[in-house]
């Protein structure tokens, strides 16, 4: 796999989340998340897989760090849009903003790792995102910990940035033996219905 397959925003978001929530371990993780390599765009797949594997052994910190990283990735994805596009997105009708949030989520997921593919389906205010090839949910044996927190947090933050009242939560995860990963997204408001974000194995 080519080094360019790893998105720099993804790696930077993980690095910042570790610095925020597990600062005493940052030096250890910088053996793989090397800031110099990150700036040069040279980080490969193997170091990132190693980081995710070690994070899984950090107990409750895994969910907190990957969720914080998802929030950073969503913020940086939205902030990368020109200011006029940000304002235009926020001024759209609620239904259109929901579709824009889905499009941004698909872009974020694709840019996280080029081996991950997101297929978005929308109908009458509800929707699904089928995620294939997630780095987080690739495990040798099912465990007891759900691993989709990065995507749940990223989707939730994108909704917030578009002034949509909604929240994504992990409902099922193939890392614990489920057939696929499901993030249920509750969109609150009189004109919005429930949506679902689904991660299925590749």
pTM: predicted TM-score of the whole model, two decimal places: 0.86
Q: What is the DSSP letter of 81?
A: S
Number of domains making up the chain? 1
| pLDDT tens digits in sequence order for the chain, 202 residues long | 344 467 888 988 999 999 999 999 999 999 988 766 666 656 778 888 899 999 999 989 999 999 999 999 999 999 999 999 999 888 888 888 888 888 898 899 888 888 887 777 656 556 667 777 788 887 877 788 889 899 989 989 998 999 988 888 887 888 888 787 777 777 764 344 445 555 544 4
The set of residues, in sequence order, having a beta carbon less than 8 Å from that of 187 and lying 6+ positions away, is: 98, 125, 159, 164, 165, 166, 193, 194, 195
State the residue for tokens 């006029």: 84
pLDDT at residue 26, as a whole number: 95
| C-beta neighbour count of 186 within 10 angstroms | 14
Is the Cβ–Cβ distance between 77 and 89 less than 8 Å?
A: no
Give the integer Cα–Cα distance in Å for 123 and 119. 14
Q: Domain of 187?
A: 3-199
Give the integer Cα–Cα distance in Å for 199 and 83. 31
pLDDT at residue 190, as a whole number: 33
Count of CA atoms in the C-beta half-sphere (13 A) of 117: 4
Q: What is the CATH number of the domain that holds 110?
A: 3.30.1380
For residue 96, CA distances in Å to 126, 185, 192 come to: 12, 17, 11
Count of CA atoms in the C-beta half-sphere (13 A) of 23: 1
């Amino acid at each position: 796999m080519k080094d360019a397959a790893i998105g720099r925003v993804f790696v930077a978001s993980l690095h910042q989340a570790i610095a925020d929530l597990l600062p005493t371990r940052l030096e250890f993780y910088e053996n793989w998340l090397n800031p110099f390599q990150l700036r040069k765009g040279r980080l490969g797949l193997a170091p990132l897989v190693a980081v995710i594997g070690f994070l899984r052994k950090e107990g409750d910190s895994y969910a907190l760090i990957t969720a914080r990283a998802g929030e950073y990735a969503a913020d940086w994805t939205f902030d990368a849009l020109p200011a006029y596009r940000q304002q235009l997105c926020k001024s759209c009708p609620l239904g259109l903003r929901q579709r824009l949030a889905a499009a941004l989520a698909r872009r974020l997921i694709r840019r996280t790792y080029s081996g991950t593919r997101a297929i978005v389906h929308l109908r009458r205010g509800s929707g699904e995102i089928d995620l294939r090839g997630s780095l987080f949910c690739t495990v040798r044996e099912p465990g007891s910990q759900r691993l989709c927190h990065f995507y749940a947090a990223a989707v939730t933050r994108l909704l917030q940035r578009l002034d949509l009242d909604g929240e994504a939560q992990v409902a099922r995860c193939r890392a614990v033996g489920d057939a696929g990963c499901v993030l249920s997204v509750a969109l609150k408001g009189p004109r919005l219905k429930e949506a679902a974000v689904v991660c299925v194995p590749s």
